[in-house]
């Protein structure tokens, strides 16, 4: 090959790399077992999750995230990692009775599609004598299972182990399972349940700090956090149990943070458990071939055509932030525009009725700030919609507390 040809190929390769989406290299998934939404992001004061509240200001929350099928752990946890409400079958593994999934898991999709060895893919959880297993699917199966790290007893033990794995093994995909909130909930002691949520909140923030403190992971890692189910709401038996179709059991949290995830986004799109792993597969660039979920496009940084883009661009146009939120009396809405345009900023109530219009006129490019004064409104949820024809159409949920 001549030098000129070689240069030509190199140029082509560089051009290809330039147009290919650049996804995060690493993904860390977290399951907090059995935290009810009313004690996590459903609580407008976020009293028990101060750390995750802070992460949410730099990340995205899906406010309408649901377990839409089985609200118990043995079916919902596998559904989280399969991206699918998979059937399960009984089996014996290492002389213990357990179950395996019929659908392949994200571990299998990841290792199959990337040829990653087992130490690139970790499942970190407390010591369990019988692990729920991924699939024996003919195209995937045990050759593509994760490395199980099942040691310790408490969420704090699991946190330590997860941080050790990050530092020592540097896996590209890790799933961390925190079990203590569910156990504390079943005890029926409210203070224990709340304390377990606060510990899990701490664990999530420590995990994120460990990611961002590590050269290998900093700024190229997405962390996503969810629950397998909630707990009964007070009309259906209260926090000590779960397992039916009440809203308390179904409504759960979804938090994502990382390089191509929107910041300060509270999405109100209806999403369900299978969408969690499917979105993580999208970030990893692998194909969840047998999964039933959908990609949660709305949590990714959006460009002007509404298509997700790979990373936040400095000249990006559609950006609406509300701070503080929740707020008392008034809050500040900032809008960033790439080009001048006609900005309409409307506030709606939960019934979709227009409450007030904050802006309806031409604005110049750059950062624009507005004050939403709500002194005369009653406490509750409102929606701020920002539209600029051809440029911007975003909704932010805001919580007013007098």
| Contact call for residue 36 and Zn ion (CB under 5 A) | no
- Choose among 256, 212, 214: nearest CA to 58: 256
| Contact call for residue 246 and Zn ion (CB under 5 A) | yes
| Contact call for residue 236 and Zn ion (CB under 5 A) | yes
Chain centroid to CA 296 = 9
Q: Which is nearer to Zn ion, 242 or 397 (CB)?
A: 242
| Contact call for residue 319 and Zn ion (CB under 5 A) | no
Q: Which is nearer to Zn ion, 137 or 231 (CB)?
A: 231
What are the helix (H) ranges across 58-154? 73-82, 106-114
| Contact call for residue 155 and Zn ion (CB under 5 A) | no
Which position among 249, 253, 296, 400 is part of the footprint of Zn ion (CB under 5 A)? 249
C-alpha span between 379 and 357 (Å, rounded): 18
The Cα-based distances of 348 to 97, 320, 345, 370 in angstroms read 53, 16, 10, 16
Residue sitting closest to Zn ion (CB): 73
Q: Which is nearer to Zn ion, 120 or 155 (CB)?
A: 155
Which position among 75, 232, 251, 397 is part of the footprint of Zn ion (CB under 5 A)? 232
| Contact call for residue 78 and Zn ion (CB under 5 A) | no
Count of residues of this chain found to bind Zn ion when the rule CB under 5 A is applied: 10
Site string for Zn ion, 169-208 (x = CB under 5 A): -------------x--------------------------
- Choose among 250, 333, 251, 255: nearest CA to 299: 255
- Please give the biggest Cα pair distance in the chain: 77
Q: Which is nearer to Zn ion, 60 or 249 (CB)?
A: 249
The Cα-based distances of 341 to 69, 117, 381, 388, 393 in angstroms read 44, 51, 28, 6, 12
With contacts defined by CB under 5 A, name the span among 201-209, 231-239, 275-283, 339-347 that binds Zn ion. 231-239
8 Å CB contact between 278 and 288: yes
Which position among 40, 73, 267, 321 is part of the footprint of Zn ion (CB under 5 A)? 73
With contacts defined by CB under 5 A, name the span among 52-60, 88-96, 220-228, 356-364 that binds Zn ion. 220-228
User: 3-class SS at 384?
Assistant: strand
With contacts defined by CB under 5 A, name the span among 30-38, 97-105, 283-291, 393-401 that binds Zn ion. 30-38
C-alpha span between 327 and 325 (Å, rounded): 5
Across the beta sheet with 392-400, the strand order is: 354-363, 341-349, 380-388, 392-400
Contact residues toward Zn ion (CB under 5 A) are: 33-34, 73, 182, 228, 232, 236, 244, 246, 249
């Amino acid at each position: 090959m001549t030098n000129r040809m070689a240069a030509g190929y190199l140029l082509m390769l560089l051009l290809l790399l330039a147009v290919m989406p650049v996804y995060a290299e690493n993904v860390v998934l977290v399951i907090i077992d059995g935290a009810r939404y009313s004690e996590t992001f459903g609580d407008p004061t976020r009293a028990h999750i101060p750390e995750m509240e802070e992460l949410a200001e730099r990340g995205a929350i899906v406010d309408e995230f649901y377990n839409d099928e089985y609200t118990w752990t043995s079916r919902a946890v596998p559904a989280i990692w399969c991206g699918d409400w998979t059937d399960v079958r009984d089996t014996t593994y290492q002389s213990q009775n357990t179950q395996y999934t019929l659908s392949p898991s994200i571990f299998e999709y990841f290792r199959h599609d990337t040829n990653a060895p087992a130490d690139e893919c970790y499942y970190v959880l407390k010591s369990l004598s019988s692990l729920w297993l991924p699939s024996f699917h003919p195209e995937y199966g045990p050759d593509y299972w994760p490395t199980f790290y099942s040691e310790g007893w408490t969420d704090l033990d699991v946190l330590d182990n997860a941080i050790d794995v990050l530092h020592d093994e540097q896996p590209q995909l890790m799933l961390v399972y925190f079990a203590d909130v569910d156990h504390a909930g079943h005890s029926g002691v409210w203070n224990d349940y709340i304390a377990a949520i606060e510990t899990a909140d701490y664990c999530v923030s420590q995990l994120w700090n460990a990611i961002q403190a590590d050269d290998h992971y900093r700024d190229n890692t997405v962390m996503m956090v969810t629950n397998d189910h909630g707990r009964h709401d007070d009309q259906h038996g209260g926090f000590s149990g779960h397992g039916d179709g009440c809203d308390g059991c179904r409504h759960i949290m979804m938090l994502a943070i990382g390089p191509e995830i929107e910041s300060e986004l509270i999405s109100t799109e209806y999403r369900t458990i299978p969408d969690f792993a499917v979105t993580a597969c999208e970030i990893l660039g692998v194909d969840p071939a047998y999964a039933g979920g959908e990609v949660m496009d709305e949590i990714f940084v959006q460009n002007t055509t509404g298509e997700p883009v790979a990373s936040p661009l400095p000249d990006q146009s559609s950006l609406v932030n509300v701070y503080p939120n929740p707020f008392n009396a008034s809050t500040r809405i900032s809008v960033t525009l790439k080009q001048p345009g006609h900005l309409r900023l409307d506030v709606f109530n939960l019934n979709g009725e227009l409450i007030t219009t904050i802006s309806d006129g031409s604005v110049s490019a750059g950062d624009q700030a507005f004050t939403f004064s709500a002194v005369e409104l009653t406490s509750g949820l409102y929606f701020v919609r920002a539209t600029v024809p051809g440029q911007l159409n975003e909704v932010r949920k805001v919580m007013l507390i007098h």
